[in-house]
Amino acid sequence: MSIITDLQEEIAEKGREIARLHAEIEEWSGTAVQNGIEVDNLRAQLAAQQGVVMPERKEYPSRATYPDAREFDAACLEVHVWNTCLDKVARLNADRSAQGEKP
């Protein structure tokens, strides 16, 4: 009977250990969810404070790069449209900043 009693005590101890570990997992899970929400809130606040990082302006190509005039015109048009869009976004952000809005 001593072996059975010892095994029952060991099983009971393992059950308590499992219950303790489950409680720790539940506590950790709640903390992780709470921390995840806090991180999401901090990221949103940071994004609201910062404007959009704009890409670099493009340089106009060299005429020597494009022997065909139509290809050169198309490349120049692409650069022109790209830079015009960047200028427009910069003006919009400046207007919002002047009105007291966050970019």
Find all residues with CB under 8 Å of 58, minimum gap 6, and list them: 78, 79, 82, 83
pLDDT in tens, 72-90: 999 999 999 999 998 998 8
40 and 83 both lie in a single domain: no
Q: Given the structure tokens 């900043």, which residue do they identify? A: 97
Residues 2 and 42 occupy one common structural domain = yes
pTM of whole model > 0.85? no
46 contact partners, CB below 8 Å, separation of at least 6: none
> Do 29 and 65 have their domain in common?
no
Same domain, 96 and 62: yes
Write out the residue range of the structural domain in which residue 96 sits.
53-103
82 shares a domain with 38: no
Query: Are 75 and 44 found together in one domain?
Result: no
pLDDT digits (tens, 9 = 90+) for 5-61: 877 888 888 888 888 887 777 777 777 667 777 777 776 766 666 566 678 899 999
Same domain, 44 and 60: no
**Is residue 102 pLDDT above 80, yes or no?**
no
Q: Show the tokens assigned to 5.
A: 């009693």
